[in-house]
Amino acid sequence: MHIDLRGRTALVTGSTQGIGLAIAVGLARSGARVGINGRTAARVEEALATVRAEVDGADAVGVVADVTDAADAERAVTELGGVDILVNNLGIFGAADPLSIDDDEWRRYFEVNVLAATRLSRLVLPGMIDGGWGRILNIASDSAIVIPAEMIHYGVSKTALLGVSRGFAKAAAGTGVTVNSVIAGPTHTGGVEDFVYQLVDKDLPWEQAQREFMRLHRPQSLIQRLIEPEEIANMVVYLSSPLASATTGGAVRVDGGYVDSILP
């Protein structure tokens, strides 16, 4: 299966590390011009160096912007000169006692995990529709379906993102533009390592801590390990390609079989 994204410009939000960085590498490897996004120039430059080291001749550009801010989000899209592929990867998560999550924290999770993606989708969708082609991918989570007791606010925000994806797919019906969610399962990133150590013994070596986390907190996983970011990226790259032209309005799972359902 050959994926050729030459001539397409992608914006991957929150792409200085973890899943976002892996997605940026995957898109660059397939020939796309990729906008690497983060809030600080130093982090963006570091990510650009990683992409260029991974992909010979990578066409990667830095997009220093806080896309949770309306003006910054619009500037990011303008600087790229148009976006053919939007990957709304930016997100925050963390464990919290459900009864301790106040209104401000709920609003913060919705601002970052839902409204930032919604705003960027509104910004790029008209141009995609005018051009007759486009891809919007929203990185969701198994927590959207199996709401974790230890982070209800995160799970609910990702549930909302599934609805946003389906709604925008309907808005783009018949235009050549597709909109999908990717339901990522428990994934091995630096942030997740910190999260794991919030829930298991901090003195455990990482491999043992990971196994203990999966045993105690994610026992439904059929692969019984954390997913690597590149495995999420593989699905995103496919859905970004012309090969996925008949897949839209979907919630596609890369969850290691975590969600115990034959449908999302």
Question: Mind telling me the catalytic residues?
Answer: 154
Here the tokens at position 126 are 């008209």
Q: Which helix (H) or strand (E) holds 182?
A: strand 177-184
Q: Find out whether 139 and 91 touch, Cβ atoms under 8 Å.
A: yes
Q: Find out whether 62 and 39 touch, Cβ atoms under 8 Å.
A: no
**Identity of the amino acid at 163:** G
Here the tokens at position 79 are 């600087």
Q: Find out whether 35 and 9 touch, Cβ atoms under 8 Å.
A: yes
Write the CB contacts of 164 (distance below 8 Å, at least 6 apart in sequence): 114, 117, 118, 121, 138
**Identity of the amino acid at 132:** G
Write the CB contacts of 19 (distance below 8 Å, at least 6 apart in sequence): 89, 139, 184, 187, 189, 229, 232, 233
Collapsing DSSP to helix, strand or coil, 250 comes out as coil
